[in-house]
Amino acid sequence: MRTILYIIQKEFIQVFRNKRMVPIIFVVPIVQLLILVNAATFEMKRITMAVVDLDLSGSSRQLTSKFQGSPFYRIISAPFSYEQAMEQMQKGEVDVILQIPNGFEKTLIKENHVGVQLVVNAINGASAGLINAYSTNIILDFNREILIEWLNPAELGGIRRIVTESSFWYNPKLNYTTYMVPGILVLLVTIVGLLLSGMNIVREKEIGTIEQINVTPIRKIEFIAGKLIPFWIIALFELAFGLVLGKLLFNIPIEGSLWLIFLSASVYLFVILGFGLLISTMTNTQQQSMLISFFFMVVFILMSGLFTAIESMPAWAQQADLANPLAYFIKIMRMVMLKGSTFADISNLFYSLVVYAVLIIGLAVWRYRKVA
């Protein structure tokens, strides 16, 4: 045990001596937290719109005002031809075109129905879907107002309506930041654990000190424990600091137990550190280690459910995600922080991480060769 403590002490001294390592550990993750939480969002808050009103009637202006009154839309032009509006869309100036046909109000009064055209820029499929949904809801709301106004409820003795009031559990205001912060925190501890642990042992190979360590009586398990525990401690500190920043800056809820969060994080970090150690045993330079780590990290992040729901992925991707440790920990973080889940609720995810940690560290230790 004393040998491991000496190695840990040596690692902390080496980390804080490296002027390039300290910013990577303490500055970069915090900057990423502040930037990614605000930038990584699928919310549409500034939809630019062109309205081609060929009718210029009271009803068409009423429909246009519905979009003007929405906080999500900004009408930047009102051309008198569809071709002009399409030119603006091709230049990227507008996201959606609303075309109101000539005779809109007259047809609506005589025939009780009329059509309008919505043209949405669908280069980004996710954004196009949201814009279409927002726009359709506004038009439906306009339609309801027309029905109530023309039916004259006072003369008909009142209209019986079913009124639906929605309430949202766990994220009542549907704040995307609340949803993203737990996932971004997982990303930060992953970067610290995977990149730095993998590069640390490879650095010993590059500077030639690994041969000196291999001829010492230090056992392999002591050397590996002493190498990985410092980054395990640093990553837990990063998580604690990130939680404090998330609470102070973004007011994220922490409904569940902090002890449960850190218990799960402790096991998850053993998985990530073991993965970094395994990469380091197969590489000879820090550049190789970093490139391989980035390859796996990009795959893990994109398939983790951080940005898109796992349930919406193809069946084969959902099966492949069973080998993705980020997916397990992101689920745990969101369940505990936002829903107040207990250990019984996350037990399957937690035990999966335990099994993963045992397997990956066992494989990494077996792969590491200490030649005396």
Q: Read off the pLDDT of residues 145-164 as tens digits, 9 standing for 90 and up.
A: 887 776 665 555 555 666 67
Q: Read off the pLDDT of residues 209-257 as tens digits, 9 standing for 90 and up.
A: 666 666 666 777 777 787 788 888 888 988 998 898 888 888 888 888 9
- Provide CB contacts within 8 A for 97, sequence distance 6+: 49, 50, 51, 52, 82, 85, 86, 89, 117, 118, 119
pLDDT, position 372: 46
Q: Alpha carbon of 231 to those of 144, 197, 355, 359: distances in Å?
A: 59, 7, 21, 19
Q: Spell out the domains of the chain, with CATH numbers in brackets.
A: 2-40+175-367 (no CATH), 47-151 (3.40.1710.10)
pLDDT, position 351: 94
Query: Which residues of the chain carry a pLDDT beneath 70?
Result: 39-44, 150-163, 174, 208-217, 369-372
pTM of the predicted model over 0.85: no
CB 213 within 8 A of CB 204: yes
pLDDT, position 203: 75
Query: Is 180 exposed, middle or buried (CB count within 10 Å of its CB: 0-12, 13-18, 19+)?
Result: buried
pLDDT, position 213: 67
Tell me, what DSSP letter sits at residue 42? Answer: -
